[in-house]
Amino acid sequence: MADTLRRLTNTSSFSVLQDKLESWHKDYHVISCDQNLNRCCELIELTAKIQGQLFAILNLTAAEGGHYAGVETLKTRLLPWLGTCFSMAKPSVTDDTSLQLIQDSVEKDRRIRELCASHENDMQKMETQLCSSRLQLDSVRAELVDAHKELDEIKSKSATTLLATEDEILQLKADLRCAHEQVEIYKRKLDALDDYEHQIRLLRDEVSYLSTEKAVLQDRLVRSRSPSPLPRLSSCSSPMRSESPTRAQLTNSSRHARLVSRFSDLYAVERLEAQTLLRRYIADLEMVQKIIFIAVVESCKTAKLAYRQFKLRVKKTLSPSHYGPESLEDAAVDYIVRNLDLYDVQDSVNTVINTMNVNPRISFPPEVDFVLISTLIRETCRVAFAMQTLEPPLDLAFASDGELYNDNKLFDFAAPLVMYHVWPALMEGNAVIVKGEAVTRRGALVIRSQSRSSSPVRSRSLSPTRSLVSLYNI
């Protein structure tokens, strides 16, 4: 009996039972129902084993007390307890086996606890990794949002860059068109330059001939000059013109040809350049052609007035010291021919621009000025000023809107009435040297009054059948 009690004490069965109870109480709300039932059954089995060992000790103790020893105790305590229908079968295993099973159970419980602790550690690690993964996922999502924003910004910038590129392409196309127009203008100028070189060769030949003629005339003048003062006085007092030609008279034919050619070049070169410049601001071709025509007419008028004033100043300057064989008129013209660069052409250009600013027949955008065509005005003034030095002088033909078509002054008969003029005809006295250009139509002319504004109101005829005459001079 003492050995059995010692083994029971060494196995600490009640301590194991207490530990299992505490472990079950701790995990009761965590584990499943089947696990709870298994724990309870395990405790019942362990309790039954301990009770079996206690009953074995009870038998051994009663046997040691003799036949009647312990009877009172068994009657008062054991039998009433058994009366409650509790019965305990005797274990089918030995005490040693039962103790071994208890130790195995304790070892299993220990391993289970270790496995639970390891599982909890693994769960904590997995939760930590899960939190870290969630943080990384949030970071990746934030980076993805930023990437989407950057992509949207790049798309918007690309769209803006594409629009800017299209604008640059349109601007380059416009510049290319202007460059082509400039090339055409330069080609026409090159053709005109070839004509100038041909004229220069002719003029050189004429100068050589005139130099020879001048030498002959000077020789005759020396031989015919008398030492007597009487003929000198009579020649000075005679109102007749001298038979000795001046430089202006000697070069009259060559200057005539050169100025007629220059007038044609104004139509072919400077007029087209001015028309190209004006078309950038005025879409109406009719208004552009009217502006150019009026500019040419006003330039000729201003140049003629400037020539008369300049010749009066020259005559006034030369009259006190003039004693030459030629008349004062011829001397003044000869001086002007020799000094055409003294003509203040810029003053005439300013006068023409001021006159056009108040002309009611034309309109012009207010954001620009007639200075835009100052090159055409300047060259026309120079040509018109030099034309006044010819004998007889060249002048522009009178032109009026609505006049009857004149085949002598204009190209190609198209309609009986002139709607508006494009280029004036060049006259020498009553003879037409270079024909002009006009736009004609059939029907009555409607007189139109236009103000200088960016959007002029124009009236039209009921039957505006138009026809444009030829664009080339002869």
Question: 369 in a domain, yes or no?
Answer: yes
Task: Please give the C-alpha separations between residue 285 and each of 243, 290, 291, in angstroms, as whole numbers.
Answer: 53, 9, 10
CB 443 within 8 A of CB 464: yes
CA angle, corner 396, sides to 394 and 400, nearest 5?
A: 160
Q: How many CB atoms lie within 10 A of CB 57?
A: 16
CB 254 within 8 A of CB 393: no
pLDDT at 445: 36
Question: 118 in a domain, yes or no?
Answer: no
pLDDT at 418: 76
Question: 359 in a domain, yes or no?
Answer: yes
State the residue range of the domain holding 371: 252-442
pLDDT at 365: 76
pLDDT at 226: 45
Determine the angle formed by the axes of helices 95-224 and 33-64, rounding to 10 degrees. Answer: 150
Question: 206 in a domain, yes or no?
Answer: no
pLDDT at 271: 94
pLDDT at 460: 31
pLDDT at 412: 47
Question: 241 in a domain, yes or no?
Answer: no
pTM for the complete prediction?
0.45
How confident is the model over 153-185, as pLDDT tens digits? 898 888 888 887 888 898 898 889 888 888 888
pLDDT at 446: 33
Question: 52 in a domain, yes or no?
Answer: no
Q: What whole-number distance in Å separates Cα of residue 45 and Cα of residue 281?
A: 113
Q: What whole-number distance in Å separates Cα of residue 423 and Cα of residue 434?
A: 10
pLDDT at 302: 95
Q: What whole-number distance in Å separates Cα of residue 311 and Cα of residue 305?
A: 10
Say how many domains are in the chain.
Answer: 1
pLDDT at 419: 81
Phi and psi angles of residue 441, each rounded to the nearest 5 degrees, phi first = -160, 165
Q: Give the residue among 373, 431, 428, 436 at the shortest CA–CA distance from 259.
A: 428
pLDDT at 444: 34
Encoded amino acid at 4, one letter: T
Low-confidence ranges of the chain (pLDDT < 70): 1-2, 4, 6-8, 10-12, 65-72, 74-75, 77-78, 81, 83-99, 205-206, 208-209, 212-213, 216-217, 219-220, 223-248, 324, 400-416, 441-474
pLDDT at 112: 87
pLDDT at 289: 92
Question: 40 in a domain, yes or no?
Answer: no
The DSSP-derived string for 277-314 is HHHTT---HHHHHHHHHHHHHHHHHHHHHHHHHHHHHH
Question: 413 in a domain, yes or no?
Answer: yes
